[in-house]
A and B are shown apart, each in its own frame.
Chain A
Amino acid sequence: MKTNQKKAWLFLAPTIIFVTLFSIYPILRAFSMSFQGGSLIDLHWNGFSNYQYIFNDPEFWLAIKNTVLYAVISVPVGLAISIMLAWIIFDKVKHKSFFETTFFMPYVTSTIAIGIVFRYIFNGDYGMLNFVLRCLHLPAPDWIDDPAMSLTTIIIFGIWSSLAFNIVILMGALRNIDPNFYTIADMFGASGRDKFWRITMPELVPTIAFLLTMNVIGAFKIYTSVYALFNGQAGVGNSGTTAVFYIYNKFQIVGTPGVAMAATVILFLIILFATFLQRKMMKKIGEN
């Protein structure tokens, strides 16, 4: 069927045109722009000076530090809680789909809208969270307006948002484990804990690896939730700035697209490196 050749390209044409224009070209353009100075309408080559600029910019380092801290804390904690909840739902609950539906809700809802709600719940004076904390005689910090708390607030919101996807995917993986494994384990008199650590966890390794990758990539791209929590700011005095915030700021507000793109390239490399590192790590775990 030689005629296939032309036909195939015809069917793929819309995809190829759009992908070239809005996926491939922008990557190359971002890369080239990172070596250019000036505003969008007046770009000119200036070598590595954008990179020099960001490496000497304390705000850039704060953004990177916040983003990395956010990823390093929120991803493992969120994943651990997700595994725990998925396992409880899978192992001990009858109305599994009810809980699945409930926990998945945050995934489909707008981060902006729910961020506004969280801003309200986190309010230092009249927020629901501090009311509960005070009732329990726990310290009730000013989550929103204290620069020292910004990152913590972002992390808590991030964990809350990440549970949805993780739990649903983990439930899918748990359902896929051959029930005969458990039947055989029961015959040998394995305890619940044995079954969890010797059957469930090893079977979940590929799924957890996948979720880790997805979560880490997502964590490095964090922007919208910060925007929503702090009403368009990156926290008081920019204390909660993140990599994408920095890029947006340099691109749109300050008007130095070259600097923004240099930061984009660095962010992209960090994500690539993190993904690569994780793959290696999970491979090692898988081998043991």
Chain B
Amino acid sequence: MKRIRLGVLFSYIILFLFAVITVFPFIYMILGGLMSFQETTSIPPTLIPHHFEWSNYAKVFARAPFGRYFFNTVLTASVTTIVSLFNSLLGAFAMVNLRFKGKGLIQMVLLSLLMVPGEAIIFTNYNTIAHMGLLNTYVGLVLPFLTSIFYMYYLQSYFGSISDTIYKAAMIDGASDWDYIWKILVPMSKGGLFTVGLLSFISGWNSFLWPLLVTNEDTMRLLNNGLSAFASDAGSETQLQLAAATLTVLPILILYLIFRKQIIKGVVRNDLKG
């Protein structure tokens, strides 16, 4: 009996330890963003700032156009999410409910493209965008991401779980495909669409390499690029770096905490990658 108890205790310690390791960077980030410069570099390290330096945030906004970064990020993440969701919705509907020649081929091509790492095509896409003269534009930032094979695949499995007699019933009831999509499919898949939208928005928010490639003007930067540029510029001012990092992470973290159930369920449901 005693040995088992010891085992359980040991498990709890490990779990607690890892939970702390996971959460600590976030807490430290938020607290560090409110410290004075001396506190951030003191030895031994400070954990709780003596006095909350809210002025750090004012300094961050003064030094770099974080407001602009926010705007750019929200805009591109929203547009990418809405348009790719729309395209995936139409595509997934066709793949699930319509019969046509070449469906198997399309499915096979899409599935194999799913295996191609984004990093392998991002550079040639840069080339394409550059040729189109779209560097440093919003269109250039979003264009390659306006359709997502992954989300389409996800929605396909979601729509596939709806009995096909529902579609047949709608056809007999006189509904057009367009009616079916908006009056039946969308309301019935609200949960799935919402989760996909959320995950798409989060990955849009966190995108880094692509905006790094296609923008070099400060006014076109997204949050993460702005942040990494700021981190280089702010150099030794660690407290400002941490405040800026908090600005980047906190909105998504709040979104996550509100919708954690949908997000986790969505990820588990289809082993979704970001």
| A and B physically associate | yes
Whether, in the assembled complex, A228 has its beta carbon less than 8 Å from a beta carbon of chain B, the answer is: yes
Q: Contacting A15 at CB < 8 Å: which of B45, B90, B128, B206?
A: B90
Residues of A within 8 A of B23 (CB): 102, 105
Whether, in the assembled complex, A55 has its beta carbon less than 8 Å from a beta carbon of chain B, the answer is: no
Main secondary structure of the interface of B (DSSP, over half): helix
Residues of B within 8 A of A107 (CB): 267, 274
The docked-state distance in angstroms from the alpha carbon of A268 to that of B123 is: 13
Whether, in the assembled complex, B55 has its beta carbon less than 8 Å from a beta carbon of chain A, the answer is: no
Residues of B within 8 A of A106 (CB): 22
B28 close to A126 (CB less than 8 A) = no
A116 close to B90 (CB less than 8 A) = no
Question: CB-CB contacts of A262-282 with B at 8 A, as 1s and 0s?
Answer: 001001100100010000000
How many A residues are at the interface, by size bracket? 35 or more
Whether, in the assembled complex, A81 has its beta carbon less than 8 Å from a beta carbon of chain B, the answer is: yes
Q: Contacting A4 at CB < 8 Å: which of B19, B32, B100, B143?
A: B100
A100 close to B264 (CB less than 8 A) = yes
The docked-state distance in angstroms from the alpha carbon of A247 to that of B29 is: 31
Q: Contacting B245 at CB < 8 Å: which of A81, A114, A131?
A: A114
Given contacts A26-B124, A210-B271, A214-B273, contact A108 B253 (CB under 8 A): yes
Residues of A within 8 A of B147 (CB): 14-15, 18-19, 22
Whether, in the assembled complex, A224 has its beta carbon less than 8 Å from a beta carbon of chain B, the answer is: yes
Q: Contacting A30 at CB < 8 Å: which of B12, B19, B123, B227?
A: B123
How many B residues are at the interface, by size bracket? 35 or more
B117 close to A268 (CB less than 8 A) = yes
B127 close to A257 (CB less than 8 A) = yes
The docked-state distance in angstroms from the alpha carbon of A150 to that of B252 is: 29
Residues of A within 8 A of B267 (CB): 104, 107, 165, 168-169
Q: Which of B211-247 contact A (CB under 8 A)?
A: 213, 223-224, 227-228, 231-232, 238, 241-242, 244-246
Interface of B with A (CB < 8 Å)? Answer: 4, 7-8, 11-12, 14-15, 18-19, 21-26, 28-29, 32, 40-45, 86-88, 90-91, 93-95, 98-101, 103, 106, 109-110, 113, 115-128, 130, 143-144, 146-147, 149, 152, 177, 202, 205-206, 208-209, 213, 223-224, 227-228, 231-232, 238, 241-242, 244-246, 248-249, 252-253, 255-257, 260-261, 263-264, 267-268, 271, 273-274
Interface of A with B (CB < 8 Å)? Answer: 1, 4-5, 7-9, 11-12, 14-16, 18-19, 21-27, 29-30, 33, 40, 81, 84-85, 88-89, 92-93, 97, 99-114, 116-118, 120-121, 125-128, 131, 160, 163-165, 168-169, 171-172, 192, 210, 214, 217, 220-221, 223-224, 227-228, 231-232, 244, 247-248, 251-252, 257, 260-261, 264, 267-268, 271, 275
